[in-house]
């Protein structure tokens, strides 16, 4: 599943393609993805209007015009790919948007999603903050000052494993399974510990580790897995730098102890028994 670094990289790539331009034609090849696509509302709010910004909120891509926002989520296998062709050359292309500038058409942005767990929705400008997918999201980890104190306070009385606590977007957004594993390793905190048992000073380490891991992932271009690619179709490369995720039995990069694995909340979890307490 694309996580925050992948979506941030894609957001920047899409921004470079469409910012200041217009999406003047919208072709939908099916009426729904995870939810019905509000085709008429999207055309009224987005089509033919100058793109003022392309931003990310959690794992949602937000395309802004003077009238409102397109809200796009990649689900488990979604992507947005740019092509000079009106018909996407990729299987499972469900929507296509023609990009134009003052000189005319410059290409097409295609939404591709084999499993159709993503979404293409929209919101008026004044309603975005109260949109059901947006209003209950936690703080952005890379932009929030005092994240350690926020996480410490929110974890009080929580008996859930600290890894699951971090993966809950109500507490902090964008820390999916891969980066929760990596951040807790960097911070030296065992992922199965109760969130309420994590000390204040440990939350400082965890919040710093989250920022370091996510920043490194963004700089490296995201994590390469079978479905994720950039807007030009090229894959990300952060998988090469993973410290624990997927390394069950391999020697720890710090102490050489074999990396252990378990399942927490039904998700694969990787950690070092010696380095993480």
Tens-place pLDDT, residues 213-250: 999 988 877 554 344 455 555 555 455 578 999 999 99
Catalytic entry in 2, 139, 141, 191: 2
Catalytic entry in 12, 43, 193, 267: 267
- Which residues does 119 contact at the CB level (< 8 Å), separation at least 6? 33, 34, 35, 37, 71, 72, 73, 75, 133
CA dihedral 241, 244, 250, 256 (to 10 degrees): 90
Kindly state whether residue 140 falls inside one of the protein's structural domains. Answer: no
Number of domains in the chain: 2
Domain boundary (83, 98, 130) is at 130
In angstroms, rounded to a whole number, what is the distance separating the alpha carbons of residues 208 and 188? 12
- Dump pLDDT digits (tens) for 79-111: 899 999 888 678 899 999 999 999 999 999 999
Q: In this structure, are 32 and 77 located in the same domain? A: yes
Is 6 known to be catalytic? no
Length of the chain: 277
Catalytic entry in 15, 59, 163, 205: 59
Catalytic entry in 3, 6, 182, 202: 3
Overall average pLDDT of the 52-62 stretch:
97
Q: For residue 107, report the phi and psi dihedrals to the nearest 5 degrees.
A: 155, -170
Is 59 known to be catalytic? yes
Q: For residue 99, report the phi and psi dihedrals to the nearest 5 degrees.
A: -100, 125
Residue 224: which domain range?
A: 147-271
Q: Identify the pLDDT of residue 227.
A: 43
In angstroms, rounded to a whole number, what is the distance separating the alpha carbons of residues 229 and 212? 22
Is 202 known to be catalytic? no
Kindly state whether residue 215 falls inside one of the protein's structural domains. Answer: yes
- Dump pLDDT digits (tens) for 163-184: 999 999 999 999 999 999 999 9
Is 3 known to be catalytic? yes
């Amino acid at each position: 599943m694309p996580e925050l670094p992948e979506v941030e990289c894609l957001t920047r790539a899409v921004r470079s393609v469409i910012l200041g331009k217009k999406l003047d034609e919208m072709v939908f090849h099916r009426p729904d993805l995870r939810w019905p696509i509000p085709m008429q509302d999207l055309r009224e709010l987005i089509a033919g209007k100058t793109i003022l910004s392309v931003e990310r909120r959690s794992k949602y891509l937000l395309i802004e015009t003077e009238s409102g926002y397109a809200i796009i989520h990649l689900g488990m296998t979604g992507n947005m790919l740019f092509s000079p062709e009106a018909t996407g050359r990729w299987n499972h292309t469900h929507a296509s948007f023609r990009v134009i500038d003052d000189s005319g058409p410059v290409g097409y942005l295609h939404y591709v999603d084999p499993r159709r767990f993503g979404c293409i929705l929209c919101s008026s400008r004044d309603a975005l903050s109260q949109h059901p997918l947006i209003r209950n999201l936690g703080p952005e980890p890379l932009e929030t000052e005092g994240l350690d104190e926020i996480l410490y306070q929110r974890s009080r009385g929580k008996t859930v494993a600290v890894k699951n606590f971090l993966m809950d977007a109500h507490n902090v957004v964008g820390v999916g399974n891969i980066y929760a594993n990596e951040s807790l390793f960097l911070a030296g905190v065992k992922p199965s510990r109760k969130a309420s048992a994590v000390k204040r000073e440990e939350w400082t380490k965890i919040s710093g580790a989250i920022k370091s891991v996510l920043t490194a992932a963004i700089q490296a271009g995201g994590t390469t897995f079978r479905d994720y690619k950039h807007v030009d179709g090229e894959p990300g490369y952060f998988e090469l730098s993973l410290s624990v995720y997927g390394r069950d039995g391999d020697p720890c990069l710090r102490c050489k102890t074999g990396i252990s694995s378990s399942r927490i909340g039904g998700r694969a979890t990787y950690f070092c028994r010696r380095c993480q307490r």
